[in-house]
Amino acid sequence: MTDRAVETDTAPLFIDLSAVSVMRGDAVVLHDIALEIPAGQCVAILGPNGCGKSTLVQTLTRELYPVVRPGMHVRIFGRERWDVTELRRRLGIVPSTAPPRDALGVPALEVVTAGFFSAARLWPNLRPTAEMREEAYAGMERLGIASLADRELGAMSAGQQKRVMIARALCSSGDGSGQRVLLLDEPSNALDLRAQHELRETLMRLAGDGVGLVLVTHHTQDIVPAFERVLMMQSGRIMADGTPSDLLTAEALSDLYDLQLQVQQRDDLYFAF
Closest CA to 58 of 46, 74, 73: 74
Footprint of ligand ATP on 207-246 (CB under 6 A): none
Quote the least distance from Cβ 35 to ligand ATP, whole Å. Answer: 15
Shortest Å, Cβ 249 to ligand ATP? 21
| CB 236, min distance to ligand ATP, A | 7
CB 92 within 8 A of CB 14: no
Q: What is the dihedral of CA 222, 226, 231, 232, to 10 degrees?
A: 30
The DSSP code for 119 is -
User: Which residue type does 147 have?
Assistant: S
Cite the DSSP H helix spans in the chain: 53-60, 84-91, 101-104, 108-114, 130-142, 158-171, 193-208, 244-247, 250-257
Q: How many residues bind ligand ATP (CB under 6 A)?
A: 11
| Complex with ligand ATP: residue 53 or 89, whichever CB lies closer | 53
- Encode burial over 170-187: b for 16+ CB neighbours within 10 A, e otherwise: bbbbbbeeebbbbbbbbb
Let me know: does 186 contact 216? Beta carbons within 8 Å: yes
Least Å from the CB of residue 186 to ligand ATP: 7
Smallest separation (angstroms) from ligand ATP to the CB of 68:
19
Spell out, one character per residue from 17 to 56, where the chain touches ligand ATP: x when CB under 6 A holds, - when not: -------xx---x-----------------x-xxxxxxx-
User: Residue 108 or residue 184: which is nearer to ligand ATP going by CB?
Assistant: 184
Least distance between ligand ATP and beta carbon 25 (Å): 4
Which lies closer to ligand ATP via its Cβ, residue 29 or residue 183? 29
- The full DSSP string for 30-47 is EEEEEEEEETT-EEEEE-
Determine if 85 is a binding residue for ligand ATP (CB under 6 A): no
Question: Would you say 55 or 161 has its CB closer to ligand ATP?
Answer: 55
- Residue 250 has φ and ψ, to the nearest 5°, of -55, -40
147 Cβ contact list (under 8 Å, min separation 6): none
Catalog residues that contact ligand ATP under the rule CB under 6 A.
24-25, 29, 47, 49-55
